[in-house]
């Protein structure tokens, strides 16, 4: 029998309450991270090279704001939850060489971040997607999904290994607020 629809009665999970719980956990996380002055990272949108008339525009990274990296999630200061996408550093890409295609793509991302308004060697997250916190949007395919009345986090795509959302996020916040010695 499929899960009940959002707002279902006593027959199935109360998805509205689950979504409220997720929002409450995220609000506490934002409050803790802010109070601790936890290290945040840049969030950007990568714009590939393109030609406008006869002028070629180089790839660019356009800043979208700041986020905290919490494992498979990025959390914005406004409480927006993102699925982690790609990551690079705003570092000098050095010289172009005869490398694999994937190495050249990574070099292009570093170069775009380096030319952007980011501090040197800053971590820049891009291609992150907003996780819509609605019962119908939290299917089994994403990193956050609802199953049997619980909010679960999938460690990696294609994996069946899951943990509950609240303890996962709490642990990640604690690691960022109080990093282990020597890191």
- The residues, any chain, with a CB within 8 Å of residue 74's CB and separated by 6 or more, are 41, 43, 67, 68, 81, 82, 83, 84, 125, 128
86-137 per-position pLDDT tens digit: 999 998 877 666 678 888 889 999 999 999 999 999 999 999 999 999 878 8
**Kind and range of the H or E element at 75?**
strand 73-75
168-183 per-position pLDDT tens digit: 999 999 999 998 886 6
- The residues, any chain, with a CB within 8 Å of residue 167's CB and separated by 6 or more, are none
Nearest Cα neighbor of 177 from 75, 44, 81 is 75
pLDDT band at 12 (very low <50, low <70, confident <90, very high): low
Task: Tell me which of 23-32, 40-49, 53-62, 114-123 is least confident.
Answer: 53-62
Mean pLDDT to the nearest integer, 47-67: 88
């Amino acid at each position: 029998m499929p899960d009940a629809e959002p707002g279902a009665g006593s027959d199935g999970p109360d998805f509205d309450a689950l979504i409220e719980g997720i929002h409450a956990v995220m609000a506490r996380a934002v409050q803790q991270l802010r109070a601790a002055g936890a290290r945040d990272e840049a969030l950007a949108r990568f714009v590939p090279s393109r030609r406008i008339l006869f002028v070629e525009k180089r790839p660019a990274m356009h800043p979208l704001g700041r986020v905290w990296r919490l494992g498979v999630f990025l959390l914005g200061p406004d409480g927006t939850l993102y699925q982690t996408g790609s990551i690079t550093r705003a570092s000098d890409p050095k010289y172009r060489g005869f490398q694999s295609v994937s190495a050249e793509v990574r070099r292009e991302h570093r170069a775009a971040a380096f030319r952007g308004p980011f501090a040197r060697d800053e971590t820049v997250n891009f291609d992150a997607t907003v996780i819509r916190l609605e019962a119908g949007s939290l299917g089994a395919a994403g990193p956050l999904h609802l199953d049997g009345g619980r909010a679960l986090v999938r460690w990696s795509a294609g994996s069946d290994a899951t943990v509950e959302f609240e303890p996962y996020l709490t642990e990640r916040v604690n690691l960022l607020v109080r990093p282990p010695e020597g890191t």
